[in-house]
Structure 1
Amino acid sequence: MKKVTKTIKIISIAALMLLVSCEISEVNINPNSPTQVPENVILPFAEESIARLMAGSGQVMSGIFVQYYEGIDNHPRQVQQYVVNEALYVEWDWNDYYDGPMINLKKMIDVAKGNGNFYYVGIGNTLLALCLGNVTSLWGDIPYSEALDGANNKSPKFDPQKNIYEAIQTLLDSAIVNFNKTYNGRKPTTDDILFGGDIAKWKKVAYALKARYYMHLTKRSVQLDFNPAQKALEACQNAMASTNDDMQFPYGYSASEYNPFYSFARLGYIIPNISFTSLLSALNDPRKDFYYKKKFGLANLENSYFTSPNSPVFMVTYHELKFIEAEARLRLDANDPLAQTALQDAVRANMTKICGAAIPQSTIDSYVTANASFSGDFENKLKTIIRQKYIAMFASIESWSDYRRTGYPVLTPNPNGDNPQNPGGAIPRRLAYPQTERLYNKNFPTPLPTLQDRFWWDE
């Protein structure tokens, strides 16, 4: 892994600037020790870098796999054929996660613990859990227990994915404990771009992430000593109460920052996949006019709701939580009427968030009645939930996770996707590991997995 990155450099520079400011007497910092960079300097960079990763190449690749997009140029064109270059997008994302927010969050947590600034510990644990969830959803077994130690360990072992999910839940439990504490030290305010220091909202996000990552484990229910659906439902009860609690990154707060998804659309690397546009048209879904535009009569992603320079990045949302609740209730009791209620609440929340006042409430109600009402057996109800979640979670890697664990929505693989890296040509189940890990990490797993090798929760 790279050990020095742009993010670290920025933080170090920011720390030095802080030292020569009028606040130098208030902060006891050794300028030669990056571990002592204060929490309020690290936090905004960590938040922005996570948002950038969640809107970047990882979600583009997963979006191609689940047929939100079609890759037509540059590396996305290769991904469209189920070829994932280990030296390009996966290399960048892997290194940017580990050398960016993950190592910086570990530093922030360590500093905050030493200073007794418990809210920063809680935020750091929550964001680190989110990073781990994203990385393991893309690659499976990943370094963690021996990682994030800079140059002290250049070959960290790859932890089994089961251990990663246990670590995620431990981090989130610790976050909640820290959010419940009171103290007199530094507290986040404007340095917290996501919530402005609103700890009640952070606590809800921690519970929502617990629900998300328990739901990832539904295919492993029989082998676990707990029911993932039950655990997810319990977490839902303490999570977001409305879209006002959504965690999303507000691009546009600075003229120098823009949503990275904008670049993919503007450069014409991807276009809407006809499979997705046909689904929205068949359902007469009003969100289609917000997800993509028509250019010369063809669907185009440029300057849509998610691809303008100032488009927000949805990180954890109320509508996702309600979809999780709907599925959890269905899995626990296929006749629970509250499962359909949660599903319909999810669809309404997402449509209102995306479309705003552009469509009347009556249109939303008609759509919900026609497309978010249960009928048939358990499998048909699950299909209804995941289809609506798939539409609502546009531009999120969570849709790829849902597809792999439920088989929905039903997708037809690219007929040209059979290659040595993806034998058989089915829709990929994972990303390739990056080249630097294969070449330089002595603990790199062997044999080299293909894109069809399933990791633990997908078996």
Structure 2
Amino acid sequence: MKKIYAVLLSCFLLASCDKFDEDINLNPNQPSTASGTQLIANAALSLSSLSASPSAQFHAQYLSETQYPGASLYPDGGTSFYWIYQGPLMNLETVLTTATLSATEGPVNNQLAVAKILKAYYFWHVTDRWGDVPYSEALKGAENFTPKYDTQESIYNNLFTLLEQANSEITAGNISNDIVYNGDVNKWKRLGNTIRMLMALRLSEVDPAKGAAEFNKALEAGIMTSNADNLVFRHLADANNQNYWFGQVSNQNREWWALTETLVNELKPVNDPRLQVYGAPARTSGEYRGLPYGTVEGLPNVTNYSLLGQALWKQDAHIQLVTYAQALFAKAEAAKRGWIAGGDAEAESNYNKAIEQSLVQWTGSAAGASSLLSQEGIAYDPANAIEQIATQRWVHLFMHGYEAWAEWRRTGYPNNLVQPDGKAVPLRNSYPANESFNNAASYNEAVQRQFGGQDNLYGRVWWDK
């Protein structure tokens, strides 16, 4: 009888082995899918890479190479944009196309609006560096591995619309997992409008009417009002999220970069307080001395020139990406161009405040602003206002090289960037080297349309007229 019970019990257990709940093997502490705000946070982790690279600083001629000159000499070759599509943009597109965003992490409209603002910012960066790029057919995954290249003009127009949508969609209620503004959607709203305003100014030479209209729409919607609104990437004093430059300078002992002579000569004669933050005095002289950009002789030489300042390469240094001072410089230029009311009086007011707020951002104090603004060449001059605004914006954008380079291409200032070994400053990045294989038809059509078939560093993007 016992044998019969044992057999029956075995049969019961075997028959019941597939009756478990479907989620029995799912660990609630290790979710297999990311939520909307987690995807947004992951996309934000890539923001530092839009700034933290030697190549970015070479394009704006902020840094010179002290030991192994090569990349600063503007070698030919493609630059990849794949990582931006495959990483942050894909995460943001997932947020924008999912139907399962959870309101427990904040109003769904706000999650979507923040994703749109970041998507616009990343695509603005991409198109300004490469020109026409995949946009409307991009981010489709296996549905389309060979997306067409949209024109830069159409991308700009779409991004203006995207940012306008984000502004109108934001409602009361913060979001979770926000590593940028700690969930404060009002700051996100002001950021989106500020990005839209800066984008509008890019059109000053190609379509000033459109630029002025978009500029005023953004201004009316509400832009940044203080440095507390700045888009800042905050590194941590932790190896998992440390500053790129800390890894280079401290961990690997690479003293490979010094301030350029162009930059030091702009700051030193007027006793600009930012110089003490940007660089260190030369070890041999104790004075600030810039290394002529593109120097190849007499190297290595790390003792006679001002190396990158410790405030820039410390482990938890912040990266300033979109700033209040930028917005003020933009308003100053817009007033001078007649895009907004007030003429030279309004231009001067915003110009002076931009320099003051730049000092606050970089040094923590506005104490030196009055003295700096009284210096010859710095004091506002209506006859040279555009050059002054553009040059001081370049000074302010230190270590955000790609943005400074874009503004140099648009305005031509500062007008004393050098040509290392006779090679001019690039006007764009070439497309990834393997794009002609991966997406041949779309790539070839875009290169022919824009640059007469030549994919090199010197084709002009749409707004660079």
TM-score, L = length of structure 2: 0.80
Contact 1:236 1:321 in 2 (8 A): no
Q: Is the 8 A contact 2:129 2:428 kept in 1?
A: yes
Q: Identical aligned pairs, as a percentage?
A: 25
Q: Which among 386, 392, 395 is matched to residue 388 of structure 1?
A: 392
Matched, 1:131 2:125: no
Alpha-carbon distance in structure 2 between the residues aligned to 1:369 and 1:149: 55
Q: Is the 8 A contact 2:113 2:165 kept in 1?
A: yes
In 2, distance between residues paired with 1:127 and 1:301?
Answer: 33
What is aligned with 2:46?
A: 49
Q: Considering only CA atoms, is the larger Rg found in Structure 1 or Structure 2?
A: 2
Give 1:313 deviation, angstroms: 1.2
| 1:303/1:373 CA distance change after superposition, 3 Å | closer
Q: Secondary structure at the match of 2:374?
A: helix
Q: Distance in 1 between matches of 2:229 and 2:399?
A: 20
1:217-232 → structure 2 map (5 Å cutoff): 217-221=203-207, 226-232=209-215
* Paired residue type of 1:42: L
1:348 and 2:356 correspond: yes
Task: Select the residue among 138, 152, 166 that pairs with 1:161.
Answer: 152
Which of 141, 147, 152 is the equivalent residue of 2:143? Answer: 152
User: How far apart, CA to CA, are the structure 1 residues paired with 2:233 and 2:420?
Assistant: 37
The alpha carbon displacement at 1:230 in A equals 4.6
* Gap runs ≥5 in structure 2: 1-22, 285-303, 448-452
Give the 5 Å matches for 1:96-115: 96-111=83-98
> How many matched pairs?
403
Q: Which moved more, 1:250-259 or 1:432-441?
A: 250-259
Contact 2:243 2:315 in 1 (8 A): yes
Counting only pairs closer than 5 Å after superposition, residues 41-120 of structure 1 correspond to structure 2 as 41-51=38-48, 53-57=49-53, 60-72=54-66, 77-86=69-78, 90-91=79-80, 94-111=81-98, 117-120=108-111
Partner residue, 1:262:
246
- SS of 1:444 mapped into structure 2: helix
User: Which amino acid counterpart does residue 63 of structure 1 have in structure 2?
Assistant: Q
Cα distance in 1, alignment partners of residues 100 and 76 from structure 2: 40
Does 294-303 or 442-451 show the bigger shift? 294-303
Q: Secondary structure of the residue that 1:197 maps to in structure 2?
A: coil
Residues in 2 aligned to 1:112 and 1:381: alpha-carbon distance in whole angstroms: 50
Equivalent residues in 2 for 1:217-296 (5 A)?
217-221=203-207, 226-237=209-220, 238-252=222-236, 254-266=238-250, 267-296=254-283
The Cα of 1:55 is off from its aligned counterpart by 2.5
Query: Contact 2:52–2:399 at 8 Å: present in 1 too?
Result: no
SS of match in other structure, 1:314: strand
Q: For 1:21, which of 28, 39, 42 is the aligned residue? A: 28
CA distance in 1, matches of 2:41, 2:99: 15
Residue 178 of structure 2 corresponds to residue 192 of structure 1 = yes
Other-structure match for 2:421: 416
* Residues 137, 40 of structure 1: alpha-carbon distance in 2 compared, 3 angstrom cutoff: same
Give 1:307 deviation, angstroms: 2.2
1:403 to 405, 408, 411: 408
Measured against aligned partners, the alpha-carbon deviations of 1:84-115 in whole angstroms (never above 9, x if no partner) come to: 442xxx22xx1221111011111122236765
Flag as ranges the 4+ runs of structure 1 deviating above 3 A.
Answer: 71-74, 112-116, 261-266, 297-303, 333-336
Residue number in structure 2 paired with 1:37 = 34
**What secondary structure is seen at the aligned counterpart in 2 of 1:293?**
coil
Match of 2:198 in 1: 212
